[in-house]
Chains A and B, each alone.
Chain A
């Protein structure tokens, strides 16, 4: 059956000859009408969020964040930590971008504390939450130890982080626990994300755990039968060996 035949019948049946104006200024993008799948040059959507060298932290904040992430994922004889992966650079870029601003999040009030099952309810987006929490952490460390967090021993840093995690240390302006949970999550992101975002430098974390990265074809390995698969990791920007002489 042709489109036009059926269409003619239905037009009479359904519309009864209703005549209406055509839209003059549609801001929406219109596709179809027999023109096929749209494609145009230079319209690809490659990654860019957080890939530029933007900064949010002050030097003191950056030192504190570097020290915190280094305790959450420590460097040890077993393998690299947040320091080798340069997680602080990842966090700095993230806080400077749409994520830190909470740009995609629902941030309308009223704000209330909520139950554990209701999730993030801070009135502050991530970057501001970091800023308030880091100021209170600094005040706490100076009051207790007369030292910045970054200047404390690793053992004392672990004690304080445990205090935040277990809600034995609390802040006034923001929840210390919410901050702890967020920086832990963000540190894990920075450690394991693709290196284009500034962390996981030289794919150290992927190499450490044995993740081969952003490869796209493992058909040759489906029958691995429980044996290890030795593959050098690849990032979205390739592999260091590809660009070095």
Chain B
């Protein structure tokens, strides 16, 4: 394997999804020469997911058409340190993306802001409830909601998010989420049009004294032009969002909201099919000098850069840091070290309503078409005596009725044979789901490191995930799932089936692609990888993007917070770092 040295760039971005596009757009606008290196191929609407073939359930979901292939790279998994981790030979519980746009191509578009208290989980909860239990390694982000607000606002305008404000500049705004942090402006677009299931959910939630609001959606409720001049089309409610590209330019993605402008800029370069193998350091270890990557020829290249931003998926960012020996790896025995620390996920549960006469017609759907309540999220309710912190939203979405994936049957129906088949035919168009989207609080024993046995196609160690649900998770889900059941029972169906979250975390059934932590941000280099500007504590010219920064995961989908953190960080690079390159926070 040869290693050729290439001419340098001001900035190299590792990975080119949502955060790569955000950093690239802002840094090229500031005049820098930017190169993005993407492991996967170029992808765009007309070529890769046109309306004539985008709705292919087998190809895109079940055969993983746009996801990372585990043959390229996967991770190993075990529930606890006493087990031997084994490779995820094909994906199950989550689906990392691949190619230009990353997971931003095939997300649902549920675009919630985290609550103000989600950014100060340790200090807020300790102040209100006293010391947190041993082993719960939750931390403050080091950045507050108020500091991020302008960046949430901008990301929503780039995306054209559809919703209804509940708190406009501190004033309660009817119809929105009364628990949200203060917003500086109304959503750029009105909420999506709701269907039968949301109407029933809303009525039932109101009867219970809860506060339903329309889910903030990146599926367009009307035509929209964003601040970069790019146009989005009204959503057609086709029911193929998550796991699929939108053929209709109706879902915010890097391709629809940023790339057409970025690709016109002479100081932006994108190389696809270029997989970064390691981040390179100067001999004294004080800064990064660039990256080494391999292309499809098998040749490897040294790409010099004055600054590197890690924009890959959180799991890959953590692995690259460990492989590159940047930062101290986390040690679960001592609790010392930081890289790989605080891996978190999401605690999902729910209740399905089966209707007798009414049709829910789930195929008329969209990824973020839903109504939600936040009464049991974050610290919106009193946790005294409950034995857990955090919460989750409870929502009724109508995302799809894709038939390989969606065949809910009532309790007691066998899993195959005539009775199963007939039950599917009877219930296929007559169900609605009330889901709990539970937070995941960090625990000392849940972490990421390098696997001692299994390697990828370049013979580099795979990432190893050691993860199980914690006592906090179990108490949280036990408290919230009955609320979802109560709402479901008020929706007028024939029967309700409850899907509790019990037992060990299972890597097999799909739950959600919300993997967080591993490269967490914080206030202290002893306990975090990055400072509050998402800058590596160890290497001032290395920045990290994505949900790997989250010290723990909130009861929401991560994308809005990922976007806001990227805009916050790139703003600090342009206005503070470039005039005076060095650490933006003194340890």
Q: Which residues of chain A have a CB within 8 Å of any CB of chain B?
A: 1-7, 9-11, 13-15, 18, 20-39, 43-47, 49-50, 71-74, 76, 78-79, 81, 99, 102-108, 110, 112, 114-121, 158, 161, 165, 184, 188-189, 192-194, 197, 205-206, 208-219, 221-229, 236
Interface residues of B in 121-147 (CB under 8 A from A): none
Quote the shortest CB–CB distance from A88 to chain B (angstroms). Answer: 16
**Are the C-beta atoms of A15 and B416 separated by less than 8 Å?**
no
Asked if B274 lies at the interface with its beta carbon under 8 angstroms from chain A, I say yes
Interface majority SS (helix, strand, loop, mixed), chain B: loop
**Are the C-beta atoms of A3 and B31 separated by less than 8 Å?**
yes
Which residues of A have CB within 8 Å of B223? none
**Are the C-beta atoms of A189 and B404 separated by less than 8 Å?**
yes
By beta carbon, the residue of chain A nearest B192 is A222
Q: Of B193, B263, B455, which is in contact with the most chain A CB atoms at under 10 Å from its CB?
A: B263
Known: A27-B295, A165-B415. 13 other contacts (CB 8 A): A26-B271, A32-B270, A36-B263, A74-B421, A78-B422, A104-B90, A105-B70, A105-B71, A118-B77, A118-B507, A188-B404, A193-B57, A194-B57
Interface residues of B in 1-51 (CB under 8 A from A): 4-8, 10, 28, 30-33, 41-42, 44, 46-48, 50-51
By beta carbon, the residue of chain A nearest B506 is A117
**Are the C-beta atoms of A72 and B417 separated by less than 8 Å?**
yes
A-B contacts, 19 listed (Cβ < 8 Å) = A4-B31, A13-B578, A25-B299, A31-B263, A32-B262, A76-B422, A78-B421, A79-B425, A106-B88, A119-B92, A121-B89, A189-B58, A211-B403, A216-B55, A217-B236, A217-B238, A218-B363, A224-B196, A226-B355
Q: Which 5 A-B pairs have the closest CB atoms?
A: A6-B31, A226-B358, A27-B297, A34-B266, A192-B403
Quote the shortest CB–CB distance from B343 to chain A (angstroms). Answer: 16
By beta carbon, the residue of chain A nearest B67 is A104
A25 to B405, CA, bound (A): 44
The 8 Å CB contact of B361, one of A15, A189, A215, A229, is A229
By beta carbon, the residue of chain A nearest B51 is A216
**Are the C-beta atoms of A189 and B62 separated by less than 8 Å?**
yes
**Are the C-beta atoms of B71 and A106 separated by less than 8 Å?**
yes
**Are the C-beta atoms of A46 and B263 separated by less than 8 Å?**
no
**Are the C-beta atoms of A119 and B508 separated by less than 8 Å?**
yes
Asked if B524 lies at the interface with its beta carbon under 8 angstroms from chain A, I say no
Asked if B284 lies at the interface with its beta carbon under 8 angstroms from chain A, I say no
**Are the C-beta atoms of B31 and A35 separated by less than 8 Å?**
no
Which residues of B have CB within 8 Å of A208? 425
Asked if B171 lies at the interface with its beta carbon under 8 angstroms from chain A, I say no
Interface residues of B in 66-90 (CB under 8 A from A): 69-71, 74, 77-79, 83-84, 86-90
Quote the shortest CB–CB distance from A173 to chain B (angstroms). Answer: 18
Asked if B272 lies at the interface with its beta carbon under 8 angstroms from chain A, I say yes
A188 to B361, CA, bound (A): 21
Which residues of B have CB within 8 Å of A197? 58
By beta carbon, the residue of chain A nearest B454 is A108
By beta carbon, the residue of chain B nearest A74 is B418
**Are the C-beta atoms of A38 and B86 separated by less than 8 Å?**
no
Quick one: given A1-B31, A115-B83, are A20 and B48 in contact (CB under 8 Å)? no
Asked if B239 lies at the interface with its beta carbon under 8 angstroms from chain A, I say yes
A81 to B417, CA, bound (A): 9
Quote the shortest CB–CB distance from B577 to chain A (angstroms). Answer: 11
A201 to B582, CA, bound (A): 64
Quick one: given A10-B32, A29-B272, are A45 and B47 in contact (CB under 8 Å)? yes
A228 to B196, CA, bound (A): 11
Quote the shortest CB–CB distance from B455 to chain A (angstroms). Answer: 7
A7 to B267, CA, bound (A): 9
Asked if B264 lies at the interface with its beta carbon under 8 angstroms from chain A, I say yes
Which residues of B have CB within 8 Å of A209? 403, 424-425, 428-429
The 8 Å CB contact of A49, one of B32, B59, B418, is B59
Which residues of B have CB within 8 Å of A188? 404, 407
Asked if B575 lies at the interface with its beta carbon under 8 angstroms from chain A, I say no
**Are the C-beta atoms of B364 and A224 separated by less than 8 Å?**
yes
The 8 Å CB contact of B363, one of A105, A121, A211, A219, is A211
Asked if B163 lies at the interface with its beta carbon under 8 angstroms from chain A, I say no
Quote the shortest CB–CB distance from A156 to chain B (angstroms). Answer: 14
Which residues of B have CB within 8 Å of A43? 47
Interface residues of B in 469-523 (CB under 8 A from A): 504-508
Which residues of A have CB within 8 Å of B384? none
Which residues of B have CB within 8 Å of A5? 31
Asked if B234 lies at the interface with its beta carbon under 8 angstroms from chain A, I say yes
A224 to B361, CA, bound (A): 8
A24 to B260, CA, bound (A): 27
Which residues of B have CB within 8 Å of A24? 4
Quote the shortest CB–CB distance from A202 to chain B (angstroms). Answer: 15
Quick one: given A1-B31, A46-B53, A117-B506, are A211 and B428 in contact (CB under 8 Å)? yes
**Are the C-beta atoms of A28 and B295 separated by less than 8 Å?**
yes
**Are the C-beta atoms of B57 and A184 separated by less than 8 Å?**
no
Which residues of A have CB within 8 Å of B416? 71-73, 161, 165, 184
Q: Of A28, A44, A73, A116, which is in contact with the most chain B CB atoms at under 10 Å from its CB?
A: A28
**Are the C-beta atoms of B89 and A119 separated by less than 8 Å?**
yes
**Are the C-beta atoms of A47 and B236 separated by less than 8 Å?**
no
Which residues of B have CB within 8 Å of A102? 89
Which residues of B have CB within 8 Å of A36? 260, 263-264
Asked if B104 lies at the interface with its beta carbon under 8 angstroms from chain A, I say no
Which residues of A have CB within 8 Å of B401? 211
The 8 Å CB contact of B271, one of A29, A39, A189, A222, is A29
A128 to B52, CA, bound (A): 34
Quick one: given A33-B269, A223-B193, are A229 and B7 in contact (CB under 8 Å)? no
**Are the C-beta atoms of B418 and A28 separated by less than 8 Å?**
no
A165 to B422, CA, bound (A): 20
**Are the C-beta atoms of A28 and B272 separated by less than 8 Å?**
yes
